[in-house]
Structure formats: structure tokens, C-alpha cells
Amino acid sequence: MHETTLLLIEVGALLLGMSLLGRLALLIGISPIPFYLLLGLAFGEGGLIPLDASNEFLQTGSEIGIILLLALLGLEYTATELFGSLKSARLPGILDGLLNALPGAALALLLGWGPVAAVALAGVTWVSSSGVIAKLLRDLGRLSNRETPAILAVLVIEDLAMAFYLPVLSAIVIGVSLLQGAISVAVAVGVVALILYVALRHGHIVSRLFPADQYEPLLLGVLGLTMLVAGLAAQVGVSAAVGAFLVGIALSGRVAANASQVLTPLRDLFAATFFVFFGLTSDSSGLVPMLLPALALAVVTIFTKLITGAYAARQAGVGTLGQWRAGLSLAPRGEFSIVIAGIAVAAGVAPAIAPLATAYVLITIIAGTFLARLPDAAWFRAAVRRRAAARPAAGPA
């Protein structure tokens, strides 16, 4: 069979399956993310029928999905709001790094993998998944909630920290010189600073580049700028997601509102592709031996993320229920954890990190998808109110 024909069949079958599973998720009343992951596992490495022809196509689609998720999230906020949240989240960001990196480092040392593997596994457990959390917030209708800016501030701090961490990790595992590592970090930080400056000081000029009421050139222009900036950011060692998020922050007014409207269908398509592709690239047969350590690590670090999110929301003046929502929303890990594990494995550092990281990410995504809905349950809200009635409230939930 011709390769293009096979690609069409595989992609068409996957999209149809995703549609049916998405409808099932809506009927049950949960996010479709776990279903997309399981669908990918069923047809990935070690699954029922491996899909080969569409692998490269889906990989590209998944990368576009993350970019669009973060770009549209950025469109919901202004540069002033972002910087206000970042200033208030400095202490939560430090706490987040300490609480969530230490369990991964400790497990690597307990397993006898050595200090280099400990640095890598610390990164795996530290960073939450911006893509998964962005979709969860949208699916649950929480983009306008009071705790959402605090959640985003923690995510942005984490993603910006990756501009330091990834070059340092690469230098450690590959053994490049200290000077090369320092240059990589300096370039990455410089690019982030430049994008932040343009977003804050000249965002209104960027918005004028696009016709707010002409949807076709608006769609092409905003999508093109987002992908261009994301690609340039990734090229110098900065997260493509951070670049896309800051493009969204830079746009404002009718341009931002209409861009969000025209890009939403593309985001929905490619974001769903990201989760399926993640499952497709996970070897289900290699996950089984690592399920128990991954589960133990997930339990500990979901709890530490709960502390981080609750503290960040409390610092922002959010009430008790909002603090629970913030903490539980930060549970999922994702794209960065897999990238970090890949860097370590490629350098020959503890090959078992790959299946451990994959199992860990799958557990946190699936558990986090359900845990994020917990504060919406009537019994949970009643319990929080009863407890809050016994002491002064921190503010409205």
C-alpha cells in the first residue's frame, strides 16, 4: 500500500476513535485526556497494532498542539497581569522547585543510579505539564477563576527555569565544558528577556500587525508569528511553549479576542493529537516493571504539588477552595519530563529512567485529570466550608 494512503487511513481511524472516546468522556463527565492516552498506548510500541506511517505526522501535530494550547492561554491575560502574578509567585516558585525536585533525586540515589541520574530525575518530578494543565483548565471552565493566574505563574516560572536547567543538564550528562554550558544558559536567558520586553513594552505594536476583523489573514498571521517565535525559542534552548505563551500575552484587544476565536478549532485538533502521540511513543511493555516506583513517586509529588499550588493561591489572596483547585491542578507532568528523561538516556545515564518517567507521567496525568475535578464535588465543597467555618477565611474561593 502507498505510504500516503496508509497515512490517511491511520490518521483517519485515529481521529474517528478520538471522536468516539471524546463523546464518551463528555457523557461520563470527565476530561477526554485519559482516553486519548490509552488510545495511543493501544496502538503504540508494544500495543495491539503499531502505527508506523503516521508517526512523523503525529509528532509534528503534537508539537503544534502544545504551542497552540499555550498561545491561547496567553491570549487570556495581559502582560501586566502576567508580571503581577510572577512577582507574587516568586516564593511559591522556589518552594515548588525544592519540594518537587527532591523526591526524584532521592529515588534515583536510592535505586543506585548515581548523582547525574539524580539531577535528571529531579527535573522529571519538578516540572508540571503546561499543555495538560492548560487543557484541564479549559475543559473545566476555570480560565477566569481567581486561582488561575497563580497556577499560570507557577507554570511560567517552571518553564523559564528550564532555560537554565536544560543546558546545565545537557552539560552534565554529555560532559561539555563549563564555558559552553554558561554560553547556552546566557543565550537562553537573553532570548526570554527579549521576548518579555517586547510583550510588556511593545505588545500594542505587535497587535497592530494583524487585522482584527479579517479572519483569514488574522489566523495566518497570528499562527505564523506564534510558530516562528516558538521555533526560535526552542532553537536557543528555551521552551517553545514559553515562546508561544508570551506571543499570546503580547496580543491584546480585538486582535486577541478574535485570534482566540479563529485558533480554537486548530488548538482542539492538535492538542488532542499531542496526548495520543504521547501514548503512541510509550512502550507499554516496558512500563510494567516501573509501575510501583512510579506510583510511589507520583503519590509523593502529587502531594508536594498540592502544597505548592495551595501556597501560591494563598499568596494571591485566594480562598480555601481555590487553593485546593490550584494545588490539584498542578499534579500532571508531561512533555518536559519526557524530554529530560530522553536527554539522560541518550547520554547513557541509567536507561531505566525512560520507562520510569513514562509510567510516572502517565500516572500523574490520569490521576491529575480526576483529582482536578475533586473540588467541584458537592461533598468536597461542603467539607471545605465546614472546615473553613472553624477559622477565618483567606478570601473568596
Residue 109 has pLDDT above 70, yes or no: yes
4-44 pLDDT, tens digit per residue, is 888 888 889 889 999 999 898 878 766 787 788 788 878 87
pLDDT tens for 236-294 read 766 677 788 888 888 888 888 899 899 989 988 888 887 788 777 766 777 788 899 99
Q: Is 383 part of any domain? A: no
pLDDT of residue 86 exceeding 80, the answer is no
Query: CATH number of the domain that 44 lies in?
Result: 1.20.1530.20
Sign of the C-alpha dihedral computed for residues 323, 325, 331 and 333 taken in this order: negative
CB count, 10 Å around CB of 84?
15
**Residue 80 domain-assigned?**
yes
- Please give the grid coordinates belonging to residue 359: 509510567
CA distance 371 to 376: 10
Burial 38-57 (b: 16+ CB within 10 A, else e): bbbbebbeebeeebebbbee
Q: Is residue 391 a contact partner of residue 367, using CB atoms and an 8 Å limit?
A: no
Domain hosting residue 68, numbered range:
3-376
CA atoms of 119 and 123, how far apart (whole Å)? 7
- Domain presence at residue 13: yes
Q: Please indicate, yes or no, if residue 20 is contained in any of the structural domains.
A: yes
Tell me the per-residue pLDDT of 50-64, one tens digit each, with 9 for 90 and over.
777 677 888 888 889
Asked if 62 and 277 count as a contact pair (C-beta separation under 8 A), the reply is yes
- Look at residue 213 and tell me if it is in a domain: yes
Q: Number of folded domains in the chain?
A: 1
What DSSP state is assigned to residue 1? -
CA separation for the pair 94, 88 (Å, rounded): 12
- Domain presence at residue 392: no
In a domain? residue 393: no
User: Model confidence at 306, in pLDDT bands (50, 70, 90)?
Assistant: very high
* Cell numbers describing residue 347: 547520554
Q: What is the pLDDT of residues 179-227, one digit of tens each?
A: 666 776 677 677 777 777 777 777 778 888 898 889 899 999 999 999 9
- In terms of Cβ atoms closer than 10 Å to its own Cβ (0-12, 13-18, 19+), residue 230 is buried
Mean pLDDT of all residues belonging to the chain? 83
Domain contains 387: no
CA-to-CA distance for 34 and 159, rounded, in angstroms? 24
